[in-house]
Each structure stands twice: as structure tokens, then as C-alpha cells.
Structure 1
Amino acid sequence: MAETHQVQVRRIYDDPVNSDGTRILVDRIWPRGISKDKADLDDWLKDLAPSSDLRKWYSHDPDKFEEFSRRYREELKDDDHAEALRALKDYAKKGKLTLLTASKRDDISDATVLKKVLDKK
């Protein structure tokens, strides 16, 4: 039987809801103005985040998202990301997973790329 998992992307600034399941922050830097209590995290996989160089180049420019996504997927293959990606896949196997980001637009964030990787898209 094929593995099934539900993965969603949400902003960390949105209040947690019961349907979130396991809540994982995937940003490298802790989000401004959010306490650890308010975040209500199960884990913080900062080693999954894009490199500083890639993040600075991208700067959340919607026109660069496709290229950012390609480059980030390449980075995810390196040793620096491997252990954190394995941990994320393990969480996904256990049930509902919410990837959290501080990005203003979660639809063009690294969390969205990670969701597509987990969904094999």
C-alpha cells in the first residue's frame, strides 16, 4: 500500500489549529515577534532552510520562484540538508504535517517547495 500523508503550509503568525497535526518551523531564523509558546512547535528544522546565498538572491521575488525552487531542490540533495530532510519525511509518515514559515507569501516560500518535495511533485 502506498504511503499517504497530508502536508500543508501555513504562516507561523497564524494561530495554531487542531487540524495542524505536527507543526514544524522550516525557516533558518526564528520569526520576529513570536514566542516559543505562541509558536506551539513540535520541531524547528532550520537545517532544511535554503542557504543564505540562495535566500538573499531570491528575496521572495515572485518572478524568481521557479528558479529558486529548482536551485533549492538541488541544495536539498547535499549532505548539509540530508539529515533534516530525512527527519521531515519521518514526520510526514506519521500523519498530518504543517510546515511553518514567516514568509509573507507562503505560496512562494521554501516551505512550499518542501511540500512539493514531500508530495513528490
Structure 2
Amino acid sequence: MGNVVIKRVYEAAASDDGYRVLVDRIWPRGIKKDDAELDLWLKEAGPSDELRKQFGHVAKKFPAFAKAYRKELDGSEALEKLLSLASDKERLCLLYGAKDEEHNQAVVLRSVIGEQLGTGGA
């Protein structure tokens, strides 16, 4: 099993990114689909519109967001797909559009995947 990394979709693709999956429900502003160099856009992996709006990318709301998002992910097909990819690929790169690199859904996803696969999110 490979490792799971996270990266802003606005950063240039790198040869060591591995399998690149956008985990935002909404397409990131200002990026053409061809320029994103994605292997997969897994919209369903992003938080629900309601949860995303509640969070609003406010750092102090992140703990509550992470808890609610984990509930949304529990047993979801999107999480199962990501777990499968993380097991099958040398490296899985979760891409997100948020400016905040510490408080976003990809951080939570990486942690959940690591917990599920016993790698601690690394």
C-alpha cells in the first residue's frame, strides 16, 4: 500500500504525486479541467453543501466540521473508493481547492484513510 498525500489543486502536478483525485464537490475556480491533470474527480468525497456552508473555511469551526464530515464519510461509497485506491496505488494524492492547507476536507480524508488502513494517515 502506498501513502496518501494532500495538495492544493492550484499547485502544479508533479511526477511523484501518484494517482491524483480531486475531493471537492465543486470545481475549483480558475482551473481548466485539462490543466488540473486529474486521474479522477470524486465529487462525492467532498462534504455536503450544507456542511461546507456551515464550516465556511473558518479555522475555529474545523473541529466540529471534521467530526460532522467523518459522520458523512462513514460507510460512504466515496470513502470505499478512496480506501481501495489507497490500497492499490503506490501513492494517492488528494487534491483540494481551499486556501487553508491545515483546515480542509482533504486533511480529514487523509486521516480517515490512514485510520481505516492502519497507517495513521501518512
TM over 0.5, shorter chain? yes
Looking at structure 2, the residues matched to 86 and 44 of structure 1 have their Cα atoms a distance apart, in angstroms, of 15
Q: Which runs of 5+ in 1 are unaligned?
A: none
Aligned partner of 1:96 in structure 2 is 91
Amino acid at match of 2:17: D
Q: Secondary structure at the match of 1:67?
A: helix
Q: Write the deviation string for residues 42-69 of structure 1: whole angstroms up to 9, x where unpaired.
A: 0011011111111101001110111110
Q: How does 1:3-22 map to 2 (within 5 A)?
A: 4-22=1-19
Q: How many residues align?
A: 115
Displacement over 6 Å in runs of 4+ = none
- Percentage of pairs with the same residue: 44
| 1:40 and 2:37 aligned | yes
Looking at structure 2, the residues matched to 87 and 5 of structure 1 have their Cα atoms a distance apart, in angstroms, of 15
Give the alignment's TM-score, normalised by structure 2: 0.89
1:5 Cα offset (Å):
2.8
Q: Which runs of 5+ in 2 are unaligned?
A: none
Give the alignment's TM-score, normalised by structure 1: 0.90
